């Protein structure tokens, strides 16, 4: 079985990228799918949010070739996680001088055959590690806040995906844009969403992830929102997103 590999990207920090990776993964898992989460961000926010700290070995060791992907996996609440670490900064620096530097992660994931989905939480930059994720993935998922400045960043993401598709990974496609941290009471949110619908051809998921205090609390308890508070708006929204994601 070959998994569907999805790169979750946004070049800005604090955009709901890690939250979406964790909670979409958790919702897919609860729908019966076997899901691997890859923490490719040197800040390791995904690992920390699931109470995985000081992981040894980590994903950095897999890049170094000292461990296989199966050696580093941690199971938590029905998910499998390949933890990140600060050492990914060194990996990124060393990759710059390597031949075929964009293909390391693709080769690593060739061993991860027993999963339905691999969701990659990318660094908040269009870096060599992010290029590795885009080269390894079949699909790109873009979490986006309804703010004016995010639209400028979206153009940059689209351009990068287009270049990777042309030069490194012809099978890459944009799965869609997920509206996150959506405040239904805020006029600007609605205006930006309407503008987005009229200006981009890519799919915008019908499910919007609403602003929700419980979503912000869940990482403090090392759980996904579905395990922390299954009755919250956050849990309901990510369950709906997972169902829409599987049907698209």
Average pLDDT estimate for 215-231: 97
Q: What is the CA radius of gyration of the chain?
A: 17
For the domain made up of 4-247, the CATH class stated in words is alpha beta
Contact 122, 149 (CB under 8 A): no
Q: Is the pLDDT of residue 113 over 90?
A: no
Q: Is the pLDDT of residue 104 over 80?
A: yes
For position 134, what pLDDT does the model report?
Answer: 97
The mean pLDDT value of the chain amounts to 94
DSSP the chain: -PPEEEEE--SSSSSSHHHHHHHHHHHHHHTT--EEEEE--TT-HHHHHTT--S-SS-HHHHHHTSS-HHHH-EEETTEEEE---TTHHHHHHHHTTSTTGGGHHHHHHTT--S-SEEEEE--SSS-HHHHHHHHH-SEEEEEEES-HHHHHHHHHHHHHHHHHHHHT-TT-EEEEEEEESB-TT-HHHHHHHHHHHHH--S-B-S---B--HHHHHGGGGT--HHHH-TTSHHHHHHHHHHHHHHH-
Q: Is the pLDDT of residue 130 over 90?
A: yes
Which range has the worst mean pLDDT, 29-43, 98-112, 222-236? 98-112
Provide CB contacts within 8 A for 59, sequence distance 6+. 38, 39, 40, 72, 82, 83, 84, 85, 88
State the pTM of this model. Answer: 0.96
* CA–CA separation, 246 and 5 (whole Å): 13
Q: Is the pLDDT of residue 12 over 80?
A: no
Average pLDDT estimate for 129-143: 97
For position 101, what pLDDT does the model report?
Answer: 92
Q: What percent of the chain has pLDDT over 90?
A: 84
DSSP 9-48: --SSSSSSHHHHHHHHHHHHHHTT--EEEEE--TT-HHHH
More confident residue, 9 or 13: 9
How many whole angstroms from its chain centre is CA 106?
A: 16
For the chain, which residues make up each domain, given as ranges? Answer: 4-247
- Residue 42 — pLDDT band, cuts 50, 70, 90? very high
């Amino acid at each position: 079985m070959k998994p569907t590999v999805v790169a979750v990207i946004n070049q800005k920090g604090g955009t709901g990228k890690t939250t979406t990776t964790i909670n979409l993964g958790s919702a897919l898992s609860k729908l019966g799918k076997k899901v691997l989460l890859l923490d490719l961000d040197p800040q390791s926010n995904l690992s920390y949010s699931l109470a995985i700290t000081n992981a040894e070995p980590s994903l950095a060791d897999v890049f170094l070739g000292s461990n296989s992907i199966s050696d580093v996996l941690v199971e938590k609440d029905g998910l499998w996680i390949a933890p990140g670490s600060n050492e990914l900064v060194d990996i990124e620096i060393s990759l710059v001088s390597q031949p075929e530097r964009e293909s390391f992660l693709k080769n690593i994931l060739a061993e991860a055959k027993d999963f339905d989905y691999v969701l990659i939480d990318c660094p908040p930059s269009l870096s060599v590690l992010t290029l590795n994720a885009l080269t390894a993935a079949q699909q790109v998922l873009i979490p986006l806040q309804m703010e004016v400045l995010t639209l400028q960043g979206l153009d940059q993401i689209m351009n990068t995906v287009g270049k990777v598709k042309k030069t490194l990974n012809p099978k890459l496609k944009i799965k869609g844009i997920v509206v996150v941290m959506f405040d239904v009471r805020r006029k600007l949110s609605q205006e930006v969403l309407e503008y987005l619908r009229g200006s981009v051809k890519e799919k915008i998921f019908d499910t919007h992830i609403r602003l929700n205090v419980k979503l912000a609390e869940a990482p403090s308890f090392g759980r996904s929102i579905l395990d922390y508070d299954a009755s919250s708006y956050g849990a309901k929204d990510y369950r709906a997103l997972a169902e829409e994601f599987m049907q698209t």
